[in-house]
Protein backbone atom coordinates (compact mmCIF):
# COMPACT_ATOMS: atom_id res chain seq x y z
CA UNK A 1 0.00 0.00 0.00
CA UNK A 2 2.73 2.49 0.94
CA UNK A 3 6.26 2.17 -0.36
CA UNK A 4 9.39 4.03 0.61
CA UNK A 5 10.64 6.69 -1.79
CA UNK A 6 13.18 9.46 -1.65
CA UNK A 7 10.34 11.57 -0.24
CA UNK A 8 8.91 9.63 2.68
CA UNK A 9 5.32 10.04 3.76
CA UNK A 10 4.83 11.77 7.05
CA UNK A 11 2.58 10.29 9.72
CA UNK A 12 -0.34 12.52 8.73
CA UNK A 13 -0.30 11.19 5.17
CA UNK A 14 -0.07 7.58 6.36
CA UNK A 15 -3.07 8.13 8.68
CA UNK A 16 -5.01 9.78 5.84
CA UNK A 17 -4.48 6.78 3.59
CA UNK A 18 -5.41 4.29 6.32
CA UNK A 19 -8.55 6.24 7.28
CA UNK A 20 -9.61 6.56 3.67
CA UNK A 21 -9.26 2.87 2.97
CA UNK A 22 -10.83 1.76 6.26
CA UNK A 23 -13.81 4.10 5.87
CA UNK A 24 -14.41 3.22 2.21
CA UNK A 25 -13.82 6.74 0.89
CA UNK A 26 -14.43 7.29 -2.83
CA UNK A 27 -11.02 8.93 -3.27
CA UNK A 28 -8.09 10.33 -1.29
CA UNK A 29 -7.08 13.99 -1.62
CA UNK A 30 -4.37 14.58 1.00
CA UNK A 31 -4.10 18.24 2.00
CA UNK A 32 -0.44 18.66 1.12
CA UNK A 33 -0.11 21.28 -1.61
CA UNK A 34 3.30 20.19 -2.92
CA UNK A 35 2.23 16.50 -3.04
CA UNK A 36 5.13 15.04 -1.03
CA UNK A 37 5.01 11.28 -1.15
CA UNK A 38 1.84 11.02 -3.25
CA UNK A 39 3.64 8.75 -5.71
CA UNK A 40 4.47 6.38 -2.86
CA UNK A 41 0.81 5.54 -2.23
CA UNK A 42 0.07 2.50 -4.35
CA UNK A 43 -2.27 -0.46 -4.30
CA UNK A 44 -5.19 1.32 -2.66
CA UNK A 45 -8.68 0.62 -4.00
CA UNK A 46 -9.50 4.30 -4.62
CA UNK A 47 -7.91 7.14 -6.62
CA UNK A 48 -5.19 9.12 -4.82
CA UNK A 49 -5.17 12.69 -6.10
CA UNK A 50 -2.38 15.18 -5.54
CA UNK A 51 -3.45 18.81 -5.15
CA UNK A 52 -0.44 20.24 -7.00
CA UNK A 53 -0.66 17.66 -9.78
CA UNK A 54 -4.33 18.39 -10.36
CA UNK A 55 -3.86 22.16 -10.48
CA UNK A 56 -0.75 22.09 -12.64
CA UNK A 57 -2.29 19.60 -15.09
CA UNK A 58 -5.39 21.77 -15.43
CA UNK A 59 -3.35 24.90 -16.04
CA UNK A 60 -0.97 23.17 -18.45
CA UNK A 61 -3.88 21.72 -20.42
CA UNK A 62 -5.23 25.24 -20.88
CA UNK A 63 -1.84 26.38 -22.22
CA UNK A 64 -0.93 28.43 -19.17
CA UNK A 65 2.73 29.03 -18.39
CA UNK A 66 2.89 28.37 -14.67
CA UNK A 67 5.08 28.44 -11.62
CA UNK A 68 4.66 27.31 -8.03
CA UNK A 69 5.43 29.87 -5.35
CA UNK A 70 6.48 28.72 -1.89
CA UNK A 71 7.25 32.14 -0.44
CA UNK A 72 5.71 35.61 -0.52
CA UNK A 73 7.16 37.14 -3.64
CA UNK A 74 7.79 36.05 -7.18
CA UNK A 75 9.88 38.09 -9.59
CA UNK A 76 11.17 37.88 -13.14
CA UNK A 77 8.82 35.14 -14.28
CA UNK A 78 7.27 34.90 -17.70
CA UNK A 79 4.18 33.05 -16.53
CA UNK A 80 0.42 33.46 -16.79
CA UNK A 81 -0.41 31.71 -13.52
CA UNK A 82 1.24 31.06 -10.18
CA UNK A 83 0.08 28.22 -7.95
CA UNK A 84 0.30 29.26 -4.30
CA UNK A 85 2.38 26.40 -2.91
CA UNK A 86 2.02 27.49 0.71
CA UNK A 87 -1.43 28.43 1.95
CA UNK A 88 0.07 30.07 5.04
CA UNK A 89 1.42 33.00 3.01
CA UNK A 90 -0.06 35.43 0.53
CA UNK A 91 1.82 35.52 -2.76
CA UNK A 92 2.66 38.95 -4.17
CA UNK A 93 3.41 39.35 -7.86
CA UNK A 94 5.32 42.26 -9.36
CA UNK A 95 2.92 42.90 -12.23
CA UNK A 96 -0.76 42.74 -13.15
CA UNK A 97 -2.17 40.03 -15.36
CA UNK A 98 -0.79 37.01 -13.50
CA UNK A 99 -3.38 34.66 -12.00
CA UNK A 100 -2.77 33.50 -8.44
CA UNK A 101 -4.24 30.00 -8.19
CA UNK A 102 -5.48 28.47 -4.93
CA UNK A 103 -4.52 24.82 -5.38
CA UNK A 104 -6.98 23.49 -2.79
CA UNK A 105 -9.97 25.22 -4.36
CA UNK A 106 -8.82 24.18 -7.84
CA UNK A 107 -8.47 20.53 -6.81
CA UNK A 108 -11.91 20.49 -5.17
CA UNK A 109 -13.48 22.03 -8.28
CA UNK A 110 -11.75 19.42 -10.45
CA UNK A 111 -13.07 16.61 -8.24
CA UNK A 112 -16.60 18.07 -8.41
CA UNK A 113 -16.34 18.32 -12.20
CA UNK A 114 -15.11 14.73 -12.49
CA UNK A 115 -17.91 13.50 -10.24
CA UNK A 116 -20.59 15.45 -12.11
CA UNK A 117 -19.60 13.93 -15.43
CA UNK A 118 -18.89 10.43 -14.12
CA UNK A 119 -15.11 10.63 -14.53
CA UNK A 120 -14.49 9.76 -10.88
CA UNK A 121 -14.89 6.01 -11.37
CA UNK A 122 -12.14 4.42 -9.19
CA UNK A 123 -11.57 1.79 -11.88
CA UNK A 124 -10.59 4.49 -14.41
CA UNK A 125 -9.22 7.39 -12.39
CA UNK A 126 -5.52 8.06 -11.78
CA UNK A 127 -4.30 11.58 -11.15
Report pLDDT digits (tens) over 20-70.
777 777 778 877 778 877 777 777 887 888 888 888 888 889 898 888 887
CB 94 within 8 A of CB 75: yes
Res 53: pLDDT:
87
CB 78 within 8 A of CB 93: no
High-pLDDT (> 70) share of the chain, % = 79
Amino acid sequence: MIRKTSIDLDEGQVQCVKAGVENHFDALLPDYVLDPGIGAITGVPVPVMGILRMGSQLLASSRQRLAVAINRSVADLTVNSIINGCSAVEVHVPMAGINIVDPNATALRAVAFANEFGFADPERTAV
